[in-house]
Structure 1
Amino acid sequence: MIDQKDAREADLPTEPMSTEPIPVAGQAAAQPTLLDHMGGPMGFVYSTVPVVVFVAANAFLPLPMTIGVSVAAGLALTGFRLLRGERFTSAIGGLLGIAAAVGIVAVTGSAKDFFVIGIWAALAGFVVTAGSVLVRRPLTGAIWNLMHGGQHAWREDRAVLRAHDVATLAAALVFGARFAVKQWLYLADSTTWLAVAKIAMGTPLTVLAALVIVWAFRRTTKRLATPPRSHRPAA
């Protein structure tokens, strides 16, 4: 006679077992952090290396050679990013920024003009963000609305409007501080300290402002875009 246990085992399917991890109940999938969205630690490196290379080269080399070294460093950094599998547009964007900065230096003959694009970009950012708050249409709220179909009356909710006033003012404060400090150092002809200010007021301040903006976005989503919980029917 065939043992019942053997019969049951013979009827089992012979498909190979899945090697995929079994999801654990109640365990949420890992979500990218704010720093991940901003490029992670490497994003900070990508924004810092060209500045350090330019200032270091300018301290020891004539300006034309400094420009050549900066362009070479930009090309090497772009190649490294492409080899790491980054999108072409992201990698080439950094190279174009370096090319524009050294191009201005080549025209003016002044090393401090390497930072002039960032200085005036900060002023433009301050004008746009602060102006949007003054006209009661804070920029972060307008962006949130566009991301959610543009159909929400977000300005009619006082709590939401206040949250975006705070978030947009945080961005305006970052832009304004960058312009004020860098413009002062630019007028003082301090190329080295301009580099220090660019690094210190770059990613760190951006992260702080982004945290406030993320808070405003989540608050708005919770109030305007999250459907109410349906009550379970009584058993």
Structure 2
Amino acid sequence: MTETTPPTPIPPTHHATAPHEPAGPAQPKAKQTPLEQMGGPTGLVYMGLPVVAFVVANSAFGLAVAIGTAVGVAAGIAVLRLVRKEPLQPALSGLFGVAVAAFVAWKTGSAKGFFLTGIWSNVALCALFLVSVLVRRPLAGVVWGALNGTGTAWLKDKPSRRYYDIATLTLVGIFAARSAVWQWLYDEDRTGWLAVARIAMGYPLLALGLLVVLWAGRRSGKRLKALSERRHAA
């Protein structure tokens, strides 16, 4: 009787059942630029449309129609952004601002009253930010620390406070320039030029100011990080 050699066992292979390799750490999401936070280039266009609509409608049909048109355009922009799933915050802020400005224009009975809230708010912001520098609590740093969760550790570092002083004073200059130019045009009853100045000195100047705040925040952050590493090394 012939003996049969048993077959050599074949080691199991692993194909689809191989353990899944853990994914690497998620890449941090890039921070948005000031322009992107405002809705990008379309955000700048959206900001100007209600103002242009108000001036054109006022010239053609009078104040009442102009008020309704400006509010309607602002509301339409908010709905459009909602449908297109774009950031709503700039549109809602614009709608609120247009509604308040329209109310003031209605109460004053004058088309130029539409721009009064912008003048008042910039005067108030100019004073507030200037006082914050004088009391050694520059608001640019306070707001930046609150938004980024870095707190107020920078207050104990003189160079960091200087960076935020520069950023805050830049915003003071922007608010002061706006209020001065807009007030002069308001006194001269130049409603059309008020609209032009409102658009030209609105988001573009604010974006410039936010870039300076971003610069101050990064300079301060790098400095505080270096100081912390030095303390730990010691």
| Aligned equivalent of 2:7 | none
Shift of 1:173: 0.4
| Aligned equivalent of 2:118 | 118
| Aligned equivalent of 1:222 | 222
Partner Cα distance (1:88, 1:199) in 2: 20
| Aligned equivalent of 1:63 | 63
Tell me how large the CA RMSD over aligned residues is.
2.8
- 1:147-183 Cα deviation digits (max 9, x unpaired): 435351x233221111111000001000000000001
| Aligned equivalent of 1:42 | 42
Are the structure 2 counterparts of residues 149 and 30 from structure 1 closer, same or farther at C-alpha, using a change threshold of 3 Å?
closer
Partner Cα distance (1:122, 1:181) in 2: 11
TM-score, normalised relative to structure 2: 0.81
Are the structure 2 counterparts of residues 28 and 137 from structure 1 closer, same or farther at C-alpha, using a change threshold of 3 Å?
closer
Report the count of equivalent residues: 216
Flag structure 2 segments of 5+ consecutive residues without an equivalent. 1-9
- 1:60-97 Cα deviation digits (max 9, x unpaired): 11211222222222221121121122466654332222
SS at match of 1:117: helix
1:167-206 alignment runs, 5 A limit: 167-206=167-206
Greater radius of gyration (CA): 2
| Aligned equivalent of 1:108 | 108
Contact 1:138 1:165 in 2 (8 A): yes
Are the structure 2 counterparts of residues 91 and 199 from structure 1 closer, same or farther at C-alpha, using a change threshold of 3 Å?
closer
2:98 is aligned with 1:98: yes
The letter of the residue matching 1:133 is V
Shift of 1:46: 2.0
SS at match of 2:15: coil
Flag structure 1 segments of 5+ consecutive residues without an equivalent. 1-6
Are the structure 2 counterparts of residues 28 and 64 from structure 1 closer, same or farther at C-alpha, using a change threshold of 3 Å?
closer
Partner Cα distance (1:172, 1:87) in 2: 28
Partner Cα distance (1:33, 1:155) in 2: 25
Are the structure 2 counterparts of residues 28 and 104 from structure 1 closer, same or farther at C-alpha, using a change threshold of 3 Å?
closer
Contact 1:82 1:91 in 2 (8 A): no
- 1:10-48 Cα deviation digits (max 9, x unpaired): 935247xx9xxx99xxx9865533321222112212211
Partner Cα distance (1:81, 1:184) in 2: 35
2:151 is aligned with 1:150: yes
Are the structure 2 counterparts of residues 78 and 162 from structure 1 closer, same or farther at C-alpha, using a change threshold of 3 Å?
same
| Aligned equivalent of 1:11 | 13
| Aligned equivalent of 1:132 | 132
The letter of the residue matching 1:138 is P
Partner Cα distance (1:214, 1:191) in 2: 34
SS at match of 2:229: coil
Are the structure 2 counterparts of residues 168 and 181 from structure 1 closer, same or farther at C-alpha, using a change threshold of 3 Å?
same
Contact 1:54 1:66 in 2 (8 A): yes
TM-score, normalised relative to structure 1: 0.80
Partner Cα distance (2:92, 2:199) in 1: 21
The letter of the residue matching 1:13 is H
Contact 2:35 2:41 in 1 (8 A): yes
